[in-house]
Structure 1
Amino acid sequence: MPRGEEPEEATTQRARLADRHVGARIRERRLMLGLSQQQLASMIGVTYQQAHKYERGLNRISAGRLFEIALVLGVPVSWFFEGLQESGATQPLGVRQRMCLELARNFSLINNEKHQEALSQMARALAAQSQGRTIE
């Protein structure tokens, strides 16, 4: 093998990891917006099964389709690749990150500003308490 070239298997493996990473980012953003897979599928003009395969990284997404998904989800195309290492390794969402996403999504669904402020104050008080300090 000529110097500087990689085996085809390594290249294919990195591509699969990238497909899974992009799919996970699609799912993350969809959940952040409170959309179901069916709703996303309808918005981008594919079947529910196809959207599911995209999110699992089972089917590769064309550039045009990824552009359409980015428009629908309100993010730049580059957002889907954030967190993807050059090696192809991806950093899966942890339980804490999932909870933060769910909290942010649910908070944004609260229409009453007083309720939002009360929840925000409660979060500040709990954070201060867990760090052993008081809030003013």
Structure 2
Amino acid sequence: MPKANPRGPNPIDVHVGARIRLRRQLVKMSQEKLGDELGVTFQQVQKYERGANRVGASRLYRLSRVLDVPVQFFFEGLGEKSAATGMAEGDQTPVVYDFIQSADGVSLAEAFSRIQDSKVRRRVLELVRTLASEADEGALAH
């Protein structure tokens, strides 16, 4: 397994940054507005969201208040194995980060989270899995 680049962003910082971005987009807040609330520039917010700059404890606490989530929100989805090594075996983390970073991903997550009925959510998930499987089969046929 390749070692993480010591000069690159820490995987945990990248995860926290992705969660900051997700929540900011879900509450429809600009990077500039978030920066104003935190007393930093929007460029600093960008660096936090990319994981290029580590978010200190006091700033993470402030982020949780501004974005109206518990501090634990920023660490959700971070498994023990991925925290220790950067990535778990067969980890889908890069796919999830790419999804969270996309406008479509945020819109889909936002709309999906508004569905209250768990049976409907399961049906939507089954539909998406079926469409993905059909797309995979179609790609193989060509």
Give the TM-score of the pair, scaled to structure 1: 0.61
Work out whether 1:102 is the aligned partner of 2:107. yes
Among residues 86, 89, 101, which one is paired with 1:88 in the alignment? 86
TM-score normalised to structure 2 length: 0.58
Q: Match of 2:23?
A: 29
How many residues of Structure 1 are paired with residues of Structure 2 in the alignment?
Answer: 109
Deviations 1:82-112 (CA, angstroms, capped at 9, x unpaired): 111333337243649964641565799xxxx
Are 2:61 and 1:56 equivalent residues in the alignment? no
Deviation readout 1:59-79 (Å, 9 max, x if unpaired) = 111100000001111111111
After TM superposition, which residue ranges in structure 1, 4 or more long, deviate above 3 angstroms?
12-15, 94-101, 103-108
Question: Can you give the 5+ residue segments of structure 1 that lack an aligned partner in the other structure?
Answer: 1-8, 109-122, 132-136
Segments of structure 2 that go 5 or more residues without pairing to the other structure are 114-119, 131-142
Larger radius of gyration: 1
Counterpart residue number, 1:70: 64
CA contact (8 A) 2:21 2:101 kept: no
Please identify, of 12-21 and 48-57, the stretch whose mean Cα deviation from structure 2 is larger. Answer: 12-21
The 3 A distance-change label for structure 1 pair 80 and 13 is: farther
SS in 1 for 2:10: helix
What letter corresponds to residue 72 of structure 1 in structure 2? V
Aligned to 2:40: 46
Measure, in 2, the Cα distance between the counterparts of 1:15 and 1:96: 17
One-letter identity of the residue aligned with 1:56: R
